[in-house]
Structure 1
Amino acid sequence: MSPTHSPKHSRTKKYAHHTQNYVNEFSLEFLDESHIEAFEKALAKDPEEDDLEHISAISDFMPIRQKVKRKKPKVPSGFEGISYHIVRFPMMLIIFIIITIELLLYFLVRQIVNLWEYFVQWRGKKYFLREKLRQTTTYEEWVDSAKKLDNYFNYDEWKGEIPFGYYNFNLIQKVNRDLINLKSGPNENPARLKSVLLDCVKNNFAGVENVRLYSQTYYVTEALDHLRTTKSLSNEEKRRLFKYTHKNYGRTALCLSGGAVFGYYHLGVVKALFDADALPTVLTGTSAGALIAALVGVRKDFELSQVLKPELSSRLTACAEGFPGWFIRWWRTGARFDAVDWARKIQWVTKGSLTFREAYERTGRILNISVIPYDPHSPSKVLNYITAPDCVIWSAVIASAAVPGILKPVVLMQKSKNGNLVPYNYGHKWKDGSLRTDIPTQPLHMHFNVKSTIVSQMNPHVHLFFYAPRGSIGRPVSHRLGRGWRGGFLLASVEQYLKLDLSKWLKWIRDLELLPNIADQNWSSIWLQKFDGNVTIWPKSNIWDFLYILTDPTWERLSQMIRVGQRATWPKLHMIANRLRIERAIQKGRAALRREERKRHNKNRNWDNHSNGGTIQNIQNEDSTHTNLILVLTKTDSDSGNSIGDIRESVGLDERSSLTDSTIDTSTSSSSDSESVMTPEEGQDLL
């Protein structure tokens, strides 16, 4: 239960001095009424309408605007056959009765397990130790309490068992020995070391990423650092090594689920990761998770350290409207909330009308937001700086929260070159992405090579069915040294059977299209998505949260949610940090090699311009971890033929940026120690 990893200091404290030099985030305003007016105008326009007059004629010789009679189809387009319409509803009724009975049995089994654990397993001293663990307020306190529980249950004994059944001990021991011997000493062999790393730097190599282990990865990162600096390998060999290891090992993404007011528990998850310097660069959010992901994705570290506090409640006012107002709107339009009102209130969260590209260039974080089109036959879409670079983030957040009955589908907005907002994708409307794709693992893997996901799951309809019969990270089974089954093997078997059988009936309803559309939406897939990840964090909500499911959090409730989210994340920090340590070592090696390549290229370019009578001054931004170079042509001979465009091309500057603005601000980004902030074009090259 107790991890060996502990952050040296809180990053919130680290950036505390920045608040004295910068304006308080909560006092800033970003509202631009012209952008809100453009959004309101786009919502009012029907995307199916256009300015062209459609005319028809029977033939070229007949007058225009001639009415053409069309034959009515003999069979309606939506007709599925006689047997379908006869059997559909009786079959659905029978299935719903079976599902209801199985649900009652499922919750009965769960309550029996809870009562058995409460009255039998957790008694005496271990009960008080667990309560102390649950009441901790800092990570250091949690580690201390977790160690006491480990000692009481003798949970450390499994670490002395060699081999242990959940990973290949002999293979790990051999790899560790080779990494040490090949790195230095008489057996030093960089070529062989490179081969070993290519074999072992992969997902869950030898089972070391098993959620039941706390694996150590120090030797791998040390070997990667050694190969990055060794002179025995050429730069081209190093480049291929780090490219292949990056492709094999992949990246980690933080995925924030939907969940209405439950989504504010994500703030505690983000804060725990941020304080431990374990916040991934790739972020994705859906519905309520999109709001939190946007809050993080547009802010640098010192800004983020200011807002991850209960004082944030003063800026979360989307549900402030009283009962008469929202009820009248719901009665007239079928939606409780007004999209234009939300657009005004969300401006502070997204720092105004930042686009996905602008947010990436500003912070280095890769923000992704899931939405689905209003058209039920079109596929879902994940918006980011690659798929929708000019799309405005606040419009994507609102679209991702557009649940039928809560908010009507909205138009996405994009920023034009002159800074004005115009409708995105011809003004078609979009809605809540969690209805189909709560955790978009496939697009993340395709665009950003994401092979490991940290999922903060707060959907209430999913929380009810979360059950770990063999325990979870930080919450092992309380008997048989953590290797038993919660409630015993028989109850665990019944629980698994009922859950799988419920899933079977739900798939039957979906595949046979038995469930009719409600509010123009097919709801049959809402329980059949993938809701977990390699590491899944389940902040423990309580039943009283349902009373506030569509209300703004107070200072007290938000403070409690942040604490609960932190406590749920602390047990996972060690496993997350182990993986990120390797990822950052790979990224550090790739960034260093890219800098060396640029320096060599710029030196050659400098020599060529000297030989042609011109001089180039290299201005290096020493504060940036990416060491961006701005090349300024100070003198060019009329016969040299070296234009500003040639210089842009030689260093890979975007044609839309100016030479004086090409350096990207990378100060205090969440990955500034390991990954370089770069332009989207450079990011694609690195991927």
Structure 2
Amino acid sequence: MAKNSEKAVKKTTNKIVKSADNSGTKCLEDKNYKIENPLDEEYVNEVHVSDFMKALAYDPVKGVDTSNAEHISAWTDALPVRGTTSSTKNQKKPSKRKLREQEAAKPKGISHSLLQYPLIFMIGLIMFIELIAYISLRQIVRIWENVFSWRGKKRTLRNNLRASKTYKEWCESADALDNYMHKDEWKKTIPFAYYDYRLLQKVVKHLKMYRQGDTMEDATKLMDVLYVCLKQNFAGIENAKLYSNTYLGTKALIEEYVEEVTRSIEALASNKYISIEEKRLAFKLYSKNYGRTAFCLSGGAGFGYYHLGVIRALLDRGLLPSIITGTSAGSLMGAIVCSRTDEELDLILNPELSSRIRICQDNWPTKLYRLVTQGSLFDAEQWCREAMWFCKGSLTFKEAYERTGRIFNVSVIPYDPHSPPKLLNYITAPDCVVWSAVLASAAIPGILNPVVLMQKKRNSEHLIPYNYGHKFKDGSLSTDIPTLALNTQFNVNYTIVSQVNPHVHVFFYANQGSPGRPVTHLEGRGWRGGFLASTIEQMLKLDLAKWLKVLRSLKLLPTVNDQDWSSVWLQKFDGNVTILPKSDLSDWLHTIADPDADRLKKLMGSGQIRTWPKISMISNRMRIESCIEKVRRLLRTSPKSNRVGRFNSYSDAEIEKLSQHLEQHDTTNNYANNSDAGSGDELVFLSRRRVSMPDGSFQHLQDKDSIKEQNRRRKFMAQFLDSPKEGNNSTQSSVLFDSHSDDSDSHSPPPSSPEDYTHN
């Protein structure tokens, strides 16, 4: 096993370096790279713009409309009222009724009224002092690392790494830095406290043995071992610490495991002893147990253009998940991805895209005048026209999914401050127009007024308001990363987060390293800036979070635009993999500004180079997940013969084309009704395995034999279950605010054994 691991290190490193090409940055380096057609296309639909403005002008309280455009609207979902829209020019002040409702929602009490503002002042002063101390500490650590940790040849190698223009160059520089710092020896060493290496060795050995076997028993055991090991974080292999000790790659045993699992999946897909029905059920369970990966794009105003570099890096490696969620600026970037195919994205994801970014084209006097007169810096009609290009016209969520196969999710919150956030996608809002959801997700108070979601009407060229004409605003104010909703609707249990929120990413501090960025001293086992600095950093950050929770719990902060702004900080901002930008002062100066070609080139390049260190961790996850999904698509289109054929003889395009008419129905049934696909399928898989008859037909085992077979297979699989003693350690990214706060989105891990499912 040690020799195999040593070979795997060299093989994996060479594979990564060789597979890295220049496609990810060709558009950034070639000054003569010109785009003709995609960027010149126009998608503005004047009828839809007019429908949107009429719906936006409608007064849900008075029900007055001067445009004769009839639709259903209401103050609440339970009380629909038929009415029409009115002009937007004469904006009325809040009604007495609404003022009374706002007053009734405020806490009462003499002591609260007397102490509210003194407490705000006192807590604010404490937080200001702690914030200054925190920023100062971070700068001290940064200077200390540059002066003492990076010297001589090590500094030269790091500079080469940072100066890499392509992923291939970056891999070569990272490998050289690993070799200089003796990280290659760490990769070859199998034992490590953060994963169950003994279990992994056993699984690799048995998978290889059963994959090479040619009997019915070998095929069944191969299927059973895969059933046990195809689970999230099996044996701890997804622990970030396993990728935080090197610049490139991880333990050789993990690379060997991922390689063997993908080979075994392919072998099972073409195995002649397992029927098509059994394979379909097995891979349905594999997909459910392993879960799915979502790519989450945070908000961040002008910082959001970093997302384009992250998208480009993942797209070029073939690692872009099919489930994508965006909030605020992230929803605009996500709309580009989810409304276009890979070929179309390859043409437009380049610095020339800046010619289409005209969101902030008005001058500042115009913006300030609009802020004073209308309450927002930007005009909804202008943003509507510009957003149509990013969304490829008035595509609905369902149409975008059918066109690209990507599941786009947009997080919004109703204008009513007490309503829960909503996650819009092709299941929850299939006919909702994507550009209206993007505008709603970007409607930050003061930046853009709340807007009405629009939906297509059957057999009509006009759009009508969605959800009775309720208005919605930026989802990042409450749920920037909607992990709970994604898990519920699509079985997502692994998230790749591109986090560019300026008020958040500055507080991420990996005190013991992060994937692709190990600590520089004590062979990666030390602390950033030393243990004392890491301790002070944690204390200051947690104390800041504590005071924010006090302000929220005691309702001390006054609401602005009916919004509790404490949730902007007190929510979950990270994921299993979190990609952070390397921002500078110029980024803050361009927070509300459109980038030109040079600036967009810089932002995209920075986004790519910050993504490359995470590629190894993302790749090991996505290789297995993609392999499972590819087999499932193949099995959907397979004839009822017993053999599927050679797995690799089908291209992704051929499989996608064959299964396109079944994809939507299958995805909806598997994930929207995920709770119904649980224990029953497991019991059928374990106890009702079909036995081949002499004539080639199949029959079910009898009840007594079925129970016996179920117990036998459970006993066999028990030897491959996770050990409770090892591989359980996990680390969370350090964020300013407690990820397990009351408002955070989280989900429970999937059951780790077959017995767990029988009790669900």
Q: TM-score, normalised by structure 2?
A: 0.75
Q: Of residues 49, 55, 73 in structure 2, which corresponds to 1:36?
A: 49
Shift of the 301–14 alpha-carbon distance from structure 1 to 2, 3 Å rule, reads farther
Q: Counterpart of 1:5 in structure 2: which amino acid?
A: I
Aligned to 1:515: 557
Aligned to 1:146: 174
CA deviation map 1:255-292 (0-9, x unaligned): 00000010000000000000001111001100000000
Aligned to 2:239: 210
Q: Do the aligned partners of 1:386 and 1:680 also contact (CA within 8 Å) in 2?
A: no
Aligned to 2:630: 588
Q: Of residues 74, 99, 108 in structure 1, which corresponds to 2:136?
A: 108
Q: State the distance in 1 between where 2:105 and 2:377 align.
A: 33
Q: Counterpart of 2:401 in structure 1: which amino acid?
A: Y
Percentage identity across paired residues of the two chains: 52
Alignment of 1:126-141 (within 5 A): 126-141=154-169
Q: Of residues 668, 672, 683 in structure 2, which corresponds to 1:684?
A: 668
Q: State the distance in 2 between where 1:379 and 1:538 align.
A: 28
Residue 161 of structure 1: CA displacement? Answer: 2.4
Q: State the distance in 2 between where 1:276 and 1:622 align.
A: 15
Q: State the distance in 1 between where 2:358 and 2:583 align.
A: 21
Q: State the distance in 1 between where 2:160 and 2:24 align.
A: 24
Residue 481 of structure 1: CA displacement? Answer: 1.7
CA deviation map 1:92-113 (0-9, x unaligned): 2222222122212212221221
Aligned to 1:609: none
Q: Of residues 230, 234, 238 in structure 2, which corresponds to 1:201?
A: 230
Q: Do the aligned partners of 2:21 and 2:166 also contact (CA within 8 Å) in 1?
A: no
Aligned to 1:525: 567
Aligned to 2:16: 5
Task: Count residues in correspondence.
Answer: 598
Shift of the 42–298 alpha-carbon distance from structure 1 to 2, 3 Å rule, reads same
Q: Counterpart of 1:142 in structure 2: which amino acid?
A: W
Aligned to 1:325: 366
Q: Do the aligned partners of 2:413 and 2:473 also contact (CA within 8 Å) in 1?
A: yes
Q: Counterpart of 1:205 in structure 2: which amino acid?
A: F
Q: State the distance in 2 between where 1:225 and 1:94 align.
A: 63
Q: Counterpart of 2:130 in structure 1: which amino acid?
A: E
Q: Of residues 174, 185, 193 in structure 1, which corresponds to 2:202?
A: 174
Residue 428 of structure 1: CA displacement? Answer: 0.8
For the pair 1:361 / 2:372, whether they are aligned, the reply is: no
Q: Of residues 184, 191, 202 in structure 1, which corresponds to 2:220?
A: 191
Q: Counterpart of 2:202 in structure 1: which amino acid?
A: K
- For the residue of structure 2 that corresponds to 1:514, the secondary structure is coil
CA deviation map 1:168-223 (0-9, x unaligned): 11111110000000111378611111111111111111111111322320111111
Q: State the distance in 1 between where 2:228 and 2:571 align.
A: 33
Q: State the distance in 2 between where 1:465 and 1:442 align.
A: 23
CA deviation map 1:606-645 (0-9, x unaligned): xxxxxxxxxxxxxxx99752454xxxxxxxxxxxxxxxxx
Q: Of residues 300, 310, 313 in structure 2, which corresponds to 1:272?
A: 313
Q: Do the aligned partners of 1:309 and 1:559 also contact (CA within 8 Å) in 2?
A: yes
Aligned to 2:284: 243
For the pair 1:437 / 2:450, whether they are aligned, the reply is: no
Q: Do the aligned partners of 1:5 and 1:577 also contact (CA within 8 Å) in 2?
A: no
Alignment of 1:211-610 (within 5 A): 211-213=240-242, 214=250, 215-216=254-255, 217-417=258-458, 418-596=460-638
CA deviation map 1:429-469 (0-9, x unaligned): 11111000000111111111111100000000002211100
Shift of the 131–626 alpha-carbon distance from structure 1 to 2, 3 Å rule, reads closer
Q: State the distance in 2 between where 1:527 and 1:303 align.
A: 36
CA deviation map 1:115-135 (0-9, x unaligned): 110111112222222112111
- For the residue of structure 2 that corresponds to 1:368, the secondary structure is strand
Q: Counterpart of 2:324 in structure 1: which amino acid?
A: L
Q: Counterpart of 2:355 in structure 1: which amino acid?
A: S
Residue 87 of structure 1: CA displacement? Answer: 2.8
Q: Do the aligned partners of 2:486 and 2:492 also contact (CA within 8 Å) in 1?
A: yes
Aligned to 2:148: 120
CA deviation map 1:138-161 (0-9, x unaligned): 000101111111122112221232
Shift of the 41–599 alpha-carbon distance from structure 1 to 2, 3 Å rule, reads farther
Residue 11 of structure 1: CA displacement? Answer: 6.2
Q: State the distance in 2 between where 1:226 and 1:14 align.
A: 37
Q: State the distance in 2 between where 1:627 and 1:266 align.
A: 29
Q: State the distance in 2 between where 1:622 and 1:479 align.
A: 44
Residue 678 of structure 1: CA displacement? Answer: 4.8
Q: Do the aligned partners of 2:454 and 2:464 also contact (CA within 8 Å) in 1?
A: yes
Q: Counterpart of 1:207 in structure 2: which amino acid?
A: G
CA deviation map 1:218-274 (0-9, x unaligned): 111111111111122222321221111111111111100000010000000000000
Q: Do the aligned partners of 1:11 and 1:276 also contact (CA within 8 Å) in 2?
A: no
Q: Do the aligned partners of 1:396 and 1:412 also contact (CA within 8 Å) in 2?
A: yes
Identify the range of structure 1 (307-316 vs 75-84) with the bigger mean alpha-carbon deviation: 75-84
CA deviation map 1:320-377 (0-9, x unaligned): 1112221211111120000101111121111110000000000001101111110001
Residue 503 of structure 1: CA displacement? Answer: 1.1
Q: Do the aligned partners of 1:281 and 1:364 also contact (CA within 8 Å) in 2?
A: yes
Q: Counterpart of 1:539 in structure 2: which amino acid?
A: P
Q: State the distance in 1 between where 2:561 and 2:481 align.
A: 23
- For the residue of structure 2 that corresponds to 1:454, the secondary structure is strand
Q: State the distance in 2 between where 1:568 and 1:493 align.
A: 26
Q: State the distance in 1 between where 2:652 and 2:210 align.
A: 34
Q: Do the aligned partners of 1:313 and 1:555 also contact (CA within 8 Å) in 2?
A: yes
Structure 2 unaligned blocks of 5 or more = 1-8, 28-32, 65-71, 75-99, 243-249, 643-650, 672-760
Structure 1 unaligned blocks of 5 or more = 55-71, 601-620, 629-674
Identify the range of structure 1 (412-421 vs 92-101) with the bigger mean alpha-carbon deviation: 92-101
Q: State the distance in 2 between where 1:314 and 1:14 align.
A: 19
Aligned to 1:58: none
Q: Counterpart of 1:582 in structure 2: which amino acid?
A: I
Q: State the distance in 2 between where 1:275 and 1:532 align.
A: 24
More helix per residue: 2
Q: State the distance in 2 between where 1:231 and 1:175 align.
A: 23
Residue 680 of structure 1: CA displacement? Answer: 3.1
Q: State the distance in 1 between where 2:273 and 2:62 align.
A: 66
Q: TM-score, normalised by structure 1?
A: 0.83
Aligned to 1:607: none
Aligned to 1:661: none
Q: State the distance in 2 between where 1:246 and 1:191 align.
A: 18
Q: Do the aligned partners of 2:194 and 2:236 also contact (CA within 8 Å) in 1?
A: yes
Identify the range of structure 1 (146-155 vs 441-450) with the bigger mean alpha-carbon deviation: 146-155
Q: Do the aligned partners of 1:595 and 1:626 also contact (CA within 8 Å) in 2?
A: no
Q: State the distance in 2 between where 1:12 and 1:541 align.
A: 21
Shift of the 159–140 alpha-carbon distance from structure 1 to 2, 3 Å rule, reads same
Residue 592 of structure 1: CA displacement? Answer: 2.1
Q: State the distance in 2 between where 1:105 and 1:10 align.
A: 43
Q: Do the aligned partners of 1:595 and 1:627 also contact (CA within 8 Å) in 2?
A: no
Shift of the 253–173 alpha-carbon distance from structure 1 to 2, 3 Å rule, reads same
